Amino acid sequence: MTGPVMAIGEWRTNGELIADVARLYLDRDDRILDPTYGSGTWWTHWQPETLVACDLDPDRSPLGRSVDFRALPWPAASFDVVAFDPPYKLNGTPTPEVDARYGVDQRRSRAGRYGVILDGLTEVARVVRPGGLLLVKCQDQVEAGRVRWQTDVISAEAARLGCGKVDSFLFRSYRPQPSGRSQIHARRNYSTLLVLRDGWSA
């Protein structure tokens, strides 16, 4: 790729996004963990020499077994980078193949849904080395008539864990709303990839 890396790009997939993130922040010799591998879309345009990938769904886990991102089997400081794409939907129609794995297809409180993400954030922060990076996908969402600033919640918890925000990338996307739904706030037509560094402070 050529040209500058933009905060809001023309990426068609998360794989294209990660390729641009790599131009600024990743090296081929980084040891990278992806504990939310899914279909592996993040790594279709760029890969490190060492990618350790797993998933709660054993059929999607390259390790061949289920791995819960809230209880990773590696010791502290095992990776240079962790790429974390948790189930961050707060409401709306569940996507069973994603949401059911962590129970977020069921009715639960907002705190309970945040708890899944933040428990995972604590664990991925544990296994990244000092000075290493966390790439965390999330989305600010309108829920119950208010904007829920999920990026702020995650950034604040990351700071508490000793990881500061060094960058963010906005990925354009849009999930159509059911007809007749009233609009109170601007609809969120983007998701966010946060770049967090262990030991970083503003």
Contact 64, 23 (CB under 8 A): no
Residue 21's φ and ψ, nearest 5 degrees, are -60, -40
Residues in a beta bridge with 105: none
Span 164-174, mean pLDDT? 91
pTM above 0.85, yes or no: yes
pLDDT exceeds 50 at position 103 = no
pLDDT at 104 exceeding the cut of 50: no
The owner of tokens 């240079």 is: 80
| Cα 7 to Cα 2: distance, rounded to the nearest angstrom | 15
Best CA proximity match to 17, nearest among 27, 28, 5, 29? 5
**Which domains does the chain show, CATH number per domain?**
14-198 (3.40.50.150)
Residue 201 and residue 28: Cα distance in Å, rounded? 26
Confidence of residue 111 (pLDDT cuts 50, 70, 90): low
